[in-house]
Amino acid sequence: MSDFLQNWHFKKYLYITLGIIFIYYTLGVVDLDKNKITNILKDLNYFNLFIAVTLYLLSHTVRVLRLVILNPLANYSIRNLWREQYKANGVNILLPFKLGEAYRLIYFRSFFGSYFNSFVTLICERFLDLLIIFTILSISIYLSPLELSALNYVLFGSLILLLIMALIYYSIEDLTLIIHKIFVEKKTTRLNSLTVKSTGNFLNAIKKIKKLLNQKYTSCLAISFLIWTLEISAFFIFFEILDGKIDLIIFLALAVSLSSLLPNGPMGLGGIQLAFYSIGIVANNPDIVNYSVVYSLFIFGSGLLISGALFIHDYFIKNKDA
């Protein structure tokens, strides 16, 4: 456990360092105009904004359904899982540099039985998301009549990430089994016993999730496609500024989604601006980057409000029970 904590502290400081460098670089590239942002906020269609927020929040409810499919035998309350999904989303939005993933890994343990099950489920989710994102992005780039040389980097990056996730997903069982056998054959010590137990639990978690995924691949892909349909639909609030071009709306949605994999600051600072800036180049409209504030403020802000309300509610419930 001490080795795990040391590795986690190392990764935490690494993420923070990379995040600060990334944000400094991004904000040096993009140019946010305060006056234009003020005018954008004044002219917003708040009905469309309400629809977008609803679609965004609904996508996270559908994510809960996917978790239920991936863990059908676990004994937990779906209502409580829904609450933790929204709380984890808020933590991910608020905490910078990907540190929010630790919250999800820890607090989902009570639903999935162990840290190993929680971790493997997270890998499976990310693999499904990247697979859908890459598929939609590839089809959209192929069908789009626009000159999209700038988005080839996004496509290439998503392909690399997908291959890495696939490599992890399909090879991690064999690698873990090799490590498990090596330590089983070693002399019994406290460290060896801990390693054997940990790798054994991890192997069981991998086998279970792979078995479920093989049985329910169609359902998982279908519900993942629904998740990303809802995510993309939320970006139709930018329909007018993108001249009604559906392909640009799709590209913007997927670029923002992929930016979440970067070591962003709070509220997606850095990655969100870079995604909007990239689509602005494609659309020959550099002012589009100013609309990133709208997305962060209202879409991410809604996620933070619900998460905060749930945290406050749980705090008072615990104090009342105590």
Radius of gyration of the chain (CA): 21
> pLDDT tier at 223 (50, 70, 90 boundaries)?
very high
Provide the H-helix boundaries in the chain: 2-29, 34-42, 46-70, 78-94, 101-107, 109-112, 115-143, 152-184, 190-215, 217-233, 246-259, 271-282, 292-294, 301-321
Kindly state the average pLDDT of the residues 153-173: 73
pLDDT more than 70, % of the chain: 80
> What value does the mean pLDDT of the chain take?
78
- What is the tens place of the pLDDT at every residue in 264-293? 667 777 778 888 888 888 888 888 888 888
Kindly state the average pLDDT of the residues 150-174: 72
Residue of 179, 212, 205, 209 lying closest to 116 (CA atoms): 205
Is residue 205 within 8 Å of 114, Cβ to Cβ? yes
pLDDT over 60 at 73, yes or no: yes
Kindly state the average pLDDT of the residues 243-267: 82
Q: Tell me, rounded to whole angstroms, the distance of Cα 91 from its chain centroid.
A: 12
- What is the tens place of the pLDDT at every residue in 310-322? 888 887 777 666 5
| Distances from the Cα of 71 to the Cα of 81, 203, 261, angstroms | 11, 16, 25
> pLDDT tier at 3 (50, 70, 90 boundaries)?
very low
Higher pLDDT, 57 or 215: 57
pLDDT more than 90, % of the chain: 13
Kindly state the average pLDDT of the residues 2-27: 50
